[in-house]
A and B are shown apart, each in its own frame.
Chain A
Amino acid sequence: MTVTKPEDRRPPHDDAPVLEARDIVKRFTGVLALDHVSLSLRPGEVHALVGENGAGKSTLIKVITGVHRPDEGSVLLAGRPAGFAGPLDAQRAGVQAVHQEIGLVPDLSIARNLLLGREPRRALGLIDSRRMHETAARTLTSYGVRVDVRLPLRSLGVGAQQMVALARAVSVDARVVIMDEPTSSLEPREVDTLFGVIDRLRDQGIAVLYVSHRLDELYRICDGVTVLRDGRVVHQGALADLDRLRLVSLMLGRDVAKVRAEGVTRFSGAHEVSGEPVLEAHGLSSRYLLDDVSLTVRSGEVVGLGGLLGAGRTETAKAIAGALPLDAGRVTVAGLSVRRGSAGAAVRAGIALLPEDRKAEGIVPTLSVRDNIALAALPRLARAGVVSDARIDRIVDTFMKRLRIKATGPHQPVAELSGGNQQKVLLARWLATEPKVLLLDEPTRGIDVGAKAEVQALVDELAETGLGVLLISSDLEELVEGSDRVVVLKDGAVVGELTGDELTEEGVMTTIAQGVS
């Protein structure tokens, strides 16, 4: 395995760009997803494309591969307008995208998958199996995958499947390969193999657009970088000229110099921390996702979880809430151990999770505001399995008033409410269960400014009543000001913890940039 050092991996042919996106503008129902984004790839260049959620990375990839048609601007392949009609068209022209969700056929043999559509033929158009297997085995061996190519693809691990997808992409006369988070499910050894492959692509003059959040990998393999934020290019240039802290601050949209600005969030910051640990998580581990994560939340304390996208913040919250299968680890609430892998047990123990994806994991769209609020607390609002309407009405009324939920009434369908009010309904659902620990995953994302301030004030208020709160937020300002302590995650592991004076936005970014897991 040889991975070349940065200094001697200048692109072999320093000529005209093979792929160019010029001034791309893309709107979705009025929302500007890409705002005059330009990007060019030279042959043999490995270019990093980075940015947080919603920055526009996937939209850009989709525009390049012809899934979306740009509203303005153009995509050029070798200097000529590409105008791909779709991914297939792009593939034929030599632009290959290898996605996270691997676009292969799990039940066909590995060899068939590798050569799908290009199988060696015999007379009468029949597939020449022997030749197909030989070719496939030879190709895969060169990618470090040694398997019986006659087996169905799904008998392989995710990493090996990804290698097959990559080998397939590269073997069809690729000129540009787009890799979207290629290492998210790879073992370290497989990552090395992948980087070896990327080095070979570089030598062959193939351009690679590499999307990832793993800083170490970016600095190991990429030459250039484009940082997207809110649909705009905020930085473009050689990666070697950009230090890690600066890259992190560009991604998160926080200017290192201006970071010590006065607070505008509604958090008061300091809470009366009683000192009694209410939530303790020990050694939470889950393959590819979490690596020995431990943390403690005390009664009355707000603990923030910091880190980039994909660092394992959501996974940590889900693991604590019993909604993520764990290989190892233990969770206790107020000293009592919680049965692993059971969301029901976690709820009964007093753990409440406000999920990141409100629509998919939170609200029940067919039900009313009232039924959504009562959902998790039903067992305690019922006697012998028969629910008491009076008790539900009372509790729903209490929380609708306390959280100032704006609805025409308790019977309005929850789907008709604004995002902020839906979020409050979900908070009410959990508060009705009288939890001891509140896990808030991006509680203010996608809600308007007014509701945001209300939710922030509410988090404060709840902590003051003695709840332990775990706060996940991609909004650094919110994270730093809302938390008494911030635990920083990177690649699924804890890399640092900040309290007191160290707890600044700069501190969090430095920890993310330099932390070693």
Chain B
Amino acid sequence: MSEAAVALPRPAGARVLTWLQNYGVYAAIGVLIVVNIGITPHFLSMENLRTQLVQVAPIVIVSLGMALVIGTEGVDLSVGSVMALATALLPLYLGYGVGPAILVALLGGVAVGLVNGSLVAFVRVQPIVATLALFVGGRGLALVLAGGQLKDVHNAALLDLGSSSVVGVPLPVVVAGALTLLVAGVVRRTTFGRQLVAIGGNRTASVLSGLPVRRVLLLVYVLSGLLAAVAGVLATARLQASDPSSLGLLMELSAITAVVVGGTPLTGGRVRVLGTVAGALLIQLVRATLIKHDLPDSVAQMVQAVIILAAVYAARGGAGR
């Protein structure tokens, strides 16, 4: 019988697994960087680093919101569509100035979050179903708003968001960094953050402990929508165009991957903000490495699949459990 084995102290293998769970993603990034310095020409060039970071910034921002949602044992499939909605709204209101246009785009994200959050918190629809509605409908709405066309963006102030730098660091990267710190602070230091994690860990216990469960869930989805809209605005500025038919496609999957690879369990109850950022960086690095060496994107996708499986394996604590 296996009773005896269960009672034994955790063997060395389990300890390795725990370490991998906690730090595996950082180790993988380290290895990839070292390998790239060896085999990829100009990898360490300022130009390349900037490109990589600017590309990953929107993924990081969306993943932050996703991490909060997954922490509550939920998921937000609508983030890609929110990016499309944001990019569709921007050119419509640029006539009123950059500020109002961005504000409207962000409010679009908040509105989607309110719908998702209400369905999950009050109607008690499963998150995957609730957000599926706007995953489909959000992009449809964006295409209708944009008249189904790609529009070039010429507004100088908006384009500046994508191209300007703060002491050499591209603005989208600065925004992503600042938001990371902010979200990490929210999770660690606020009542809302602690309650969010508890709700994901045990919703019944949270209800019985008098936590404002519905309010917290609503706010979590609103934040996810808002962050996705921010990513949509930054991506529009960098691409210098509003293309709701392709912006943010498959973003939900990238974000979920980043969160899971970063060590946040899909079963909720834990949020690893820095791990999520590292997860996003890892995926970006893998993709960039393979593309630099002329391997097609399809190979990158397969490698991504392997990373996800490895992360899920580590998170489950090995095959036996």
Measured between C-beta atoms, what is the minimum distance from B214 to chain A in Å? 10
Chain B residues with a Cβ under 8 A of chain A: 1, 3, 189-192, 194-195, 197-198, 200-202, 204-212, 265, 268-270
Q: Are A376 and B189 in contact (CB under 8 A)?
A: no
Residue A123 at the chain B interface, CB threshold 8 Å? no
Q: Which residues of B contact A389 (CB under 8 A)?
A: 189
Measured between C-beta atoms, what is the minimum distance from B147 to chain A in Å? 42
Known: A366-B201, A367-B201. A375 touches B209 (CB 8 A): yes
Q: Are B3 and A29 in contact (CB under 8 A)?
A: yes
Q: Are A386 and B269 in contact (CB under 8 A)?
A: no
A374 to B, closest residue via Cβ: B194
Q: Which residues of A contact B212 (CB under 8 A)?
A: 344
Q: Are B269 and A366 in contact (CB under 8 A)?
A: yes
Cross-chain contact of A382 among B191, B206, B207, B270 (Cβ < 8 A): B191
> 1/0 contact trace for A225-261 toward B, CB 8 Å?
0000000000000000000000000000000000000
Q: Are B189 and A344 in contact (CB under 8 A)?
A: no
Cross-chain contact of B192 among A355, A365, A385 (Cβ < 8 A): A385
Residue A264 at the chain B interface, CB threshold 8 Å? no
> 1/0 contact trace for A343-371 toward B, CB 8 Å?
11011100001010000111111110001
Within 8 A of B (CB), among A257-286: none
Residue A30 at the chain B interface, CB threshold 8 Å? yes
A29 to B, closest residue via Cβ: B3
Q: Are B210 and A348 in contact (CB under 8 A)?
A: yes
Residue A321 at the chain B interface, CB threshold 8 Å? yes
Cross-chain contact of B198 among A30, A364, A386 (Cβ < 8 A): A364
Measured between C-beta atoms, what is the minimum distance from A159 to chain B in Å? 25
- When chains A and B are docked, how far (Å) is the Cα of A105 from the Cα of B298? 43
A346 to B, closest residue via Cβ: B210
Q: 18 additional contacts, CB 8 Å, given A375-B195, A385-B190, A387-B191?
A: A323-B208, A344-B210, A344-B212, A360-B202, A361-B204, A364-B202, A364-B206, A365-B202, A366-B197, A366-B268, A367-B197, A371-B197, A371-B198, A375-B209, A378-B195, A386-B190, A389-B189, A433-B210
- When chains A and B are docked, how far (Å) is the Cα of A321 from the Cα of B212? 15
Residue A47 at the chain B interface, CB threshold 8 Å? no
Question: Can you list 17 A-B pairs with a CB-CB distance of less than 8 A?
Answer: A29-B1, A323-B207, A355-B205, A361-B204, A361-B208, A363-B205, A364-B198, A366-B197, A366-B200, A367-B269, A375-B194, A376-B209, A376-B210, A378-B194, A385-B190, A385-B192, A389-B189
Measured between C-beta atoms, what is the minimum distance from B167 to chain A in Å? 29
Q: Which residues of A contact B204 (CB under 8 A)?
A: 360-361
- When chains A and B are docked, how far (Å) is the Cα of A30 from the Cα of B1? 10
Q: Which residues of B contact A42 (CB under 8 A)?
A: none
B268 to A, closest residue via Cβ: A366
Measured between C-beta atoms, what is the minimum distance from B53 to chain A in Å? 30
Q: Are B201 and A347 in contact (CB under 8 A)?
A: no
**Tally of A-B Cβ pairs under 8 angstroms:** 87
Residue A26 at the chain B interface, CB threshold 8 Å? no
Known: A343-B207, A343-B208, A375-B211. A366 touches B270 (CB 8 A): yes
Residue A429 at the chain B interface, CB threshold 8 Å? yes
Measured between C-beta atoms, what is the minimum distance from B191 to chain A in Å? 5
Residue A79 at the chain B interface, CB threshold 8 Å? no
Q: Which residues of B contact A348 (CB under 8 A)?
A: 210
Q: Which residues of A contact B268 (CB under 8 A)?
A: 366
Q: Are B210 and A347 in contact (CB under 8 A)?
A: yes
Residue A409 at the chain B interface, CB threshold 8 Å? no
Q: Are A365 and B190 in contact (CB under 8 A)?
A: no
Q: Which residues of B contact A375 (CB under 8 A)?
A: 194-195, 198, 205-206, 209, 211
Residue A379 at the chain B interface, CB threshold 8 Å? yes
A371 to B, closest residue via Cβ: B194
Cross-chain contact of B208 among A353, A367, A378, A382 (Cβ < 8 A): A353
Q: Are A365 and B269 in contact (CB under 8 A)?
A: yes
Cross-chain contact of B201 among A323, A353, A365 (Cβ < 8 A): A365
Q: Which residues of A contact B190 (CB under 8 A)?
A: 382, 385-387
Q: Which residues of B contact A355 (CB under 8 A)?
A: 205, 208
Measured between C-beta atoms, what is the minimum distance from A316 to chain B in Å? 15
Measured between C-beta atoms, what is the minimum distance from B34 to chain A in Å? 33
Q: Which residues of B contact A360 (CB under 8 A)?
A: 202, 204-205
Known: A367-B197, A378-B194. A387 touches B269 (CB 8 A): no
A382 to B, closest residue via Cβ: B191
Q: Which residues of A contact B206 (CB under 8 A)?
A: 364, 375
Q: Which residues of A contact B201 (CB under 8 A)?
A: 364-367
Interface centre among B198, B206, B268 (most CB of A within 10 A): B198
Measured between C-beta atoms, what is the minimum distance from B206 to chain A in Å? 7
Measured between C-beta atoms, what is the minimum distance from A33 to chain B in Å? 15
- When chains A and B are docked, how far (Å) is the Cα of A379 from the Cα of B215? 14
Q: Which residues of B contact A346 (CB under 8 A)?
A: 210
- When chains A and B are docked, how far (Å) is the Cα of A374 from the Cα of B3? 35
Known: A29-B3, A378-B195. A362 touches B205 (CB 8 A): yes
> 1/0 contact trace for A491-504 toward B, CB 8 Å?
00000000000000
Q: Are B189 and A387 in contact (CB under 8 A)?
A: yes
A318 to B, closest residue via Cβ: B208
B198 to A, closest residue via Cβ: A364
Cross-chain contact of B202 among A344, A363, A382, A429 (Cβ < 8 A): A363
> 1/0 contact trace for A321-352 toward B, CB 8 Å?
10100000000000000000001101110000
- When chains A and B are docked, how far (Å) is the Cα of A385 from the Cα of B270? 19
Q: Are B194 and A361 in contact (CB under 8 A)?
A: no
- When chains A and B are docked, how far (Å) is the Cα of A363 from the Cα of B204? 10
- When chains A and B are docked, how far (Å) is the Cα of A187 from the Cα of B128? 38
Cross-chain contact of B209 among A30, A366, A386, A429 (Cβ < 8 A): A429
Measured between C-beta atoms, what is the minimum distance from B40 to chain A in Å? 39
A348 to B, closest residue via Cβ: B210
Measured between C-beta atoms, what is the minimum distance from A387 to chain B in Å? 6
- When chains A and B are docked, how far (Å) is the Cα of A303 from the Cα of B210? 23
Q: Which residues of A contact B269 (CB under 8 A)?
A: 364-367
Measured between C-beta atoms, what is the minimum distance from A466 to chain B in Å? 21
Measured between C-beta atoms, what is the minimum distance from A357 to chain B in Å? 9
- When chains A and B are docked, how far (Å) is the Cα of A361 from the Cα of B209? 9
Cross-chain contact of A386 among B189, B205, B210 (Cβ < 8 A): B189
Q: Which residues of A contact B209 (CB under 8 A)?
A: 343, 347, 375-376, 429
- When chains A and B are docked, how far (Å) is the Cα of A282 from the Cα of B25? 57
Q: Which residues of A contact B270 (CB under 8 A)?
A: 366
> 1/0 contact trace for A412-450 toward B, CB 8 Å?
000000000000000001000100000000000000000
Cross-chain contact of A379 among B191, B198, B200, B207 (Cβ < 8 A): B191
> 1/0 contact trace for A382-395 toward B, CB 8 Å?
10011101000000
Measured between C-beta atoms, what is the minimum distance from A143 to chain B in Å? 34
- When chains A and B are docked, how far (Å) is the Cα of A196 from the Cα of B195? 52
Known: A363-B202, A366-B269, A366-B270. A387 touches B210 (CB 8 A): no
Interface centre among B1, B189, B201, B207 (most CB of A within 10 A): B201
- When chains A and B are docked, how far (Å) is the Cα of A410 from the Cα of B211? 22
A367 to B, closest residue via Cβ: B201
Q: Which residues of A contact B3 (CB under 8 A)?
A: 29-30
- When chains A and B are docked, how far (Å) is the Cα of A363 from the Cα of B269? 12
Interface centre among A323, A346, A374, A386 (most CB of B within 10 A): A386
Measured between C-beta atoms, what is the minimum distance from B59 to chain A in Å? 26
Q: Which residues of A contact B189 (CB under 8 A)?
A: 386-387, 389
